[in-house]
């Protein structure tokens, strides 16, 4: 089953955890590992079908932007499988 990929990038770990918590509670998505980008930036990886991932990213960004800074967000409906080896996007 093709899983879409959602990424929320925040400034700060606490903000990232707020985004992850809101995202997971808002839609039927799975969390991947959080990615340490450096310079205080953290990526949250979300997997699921495209509608759920879209809703989860929006909910996560809305919740996290109340307490911290959102650096970026994206939803890739059909990520290429080659991405898996390069970037840790598997759901836990």
Partner 1 sequence: MANDALGFVETRGNTGSIMALDAMLKAANVEHVKTVSIGGGFVTVVVRGEVGAVKSAIEAGTEAAATIGELICVNIIPSAHNDVFGLIGINK
Give the range of 35-43, 48-56, 70-78, 80-88 binding partner 1 by CB under 8 A: 35-43
- Stretch of residues binding partner 1 (CB under 8 A), selected from 1-9, 11-19, 50-58, 82-90: 11-19
Report the C-alpha gap between 88 and 37 in whole angstroms.
Answer: 12
Query: Residues 32, 48: contact at Cβ < 8 Å?
Result: no
Binding-site member from 3, 4, 9, 21 for partner 1 (CB under 8 A)? 21
Determine which residue in the list 4, 6, 27, 40 makes contact with partner 1, applying CB under 8 A. 40
How far is 28 from 42, CA to CA, in rounded Å? Answer: 22
Determine which helix (DSSP H) or strand (DSSP E) holds 44, and give its type and residue range: strand 41-48
**Residue 27 interacting with partner 1 (CB under 8 A):** no
């Amino acid at each position: 089953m093709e899983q879409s990929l959602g990424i929320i990038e925040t400034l700060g770990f606490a903000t990232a955890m707020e985004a992850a918590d809101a995202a997971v509670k808002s839609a039927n998505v799975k969390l991947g590992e959080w990615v340490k980008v450096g310079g205080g930036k953290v990526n949250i990886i979300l997997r699921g079908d495209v509608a759920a991932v879209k809703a989860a990213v929006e909910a996560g960004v809305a919740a996290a932007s109340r307490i911290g800074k959102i650096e970026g967000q994206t939803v890739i409906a059909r990520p290429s499988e080659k991405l898996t080896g390069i970037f840790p996007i598997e759901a836990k």
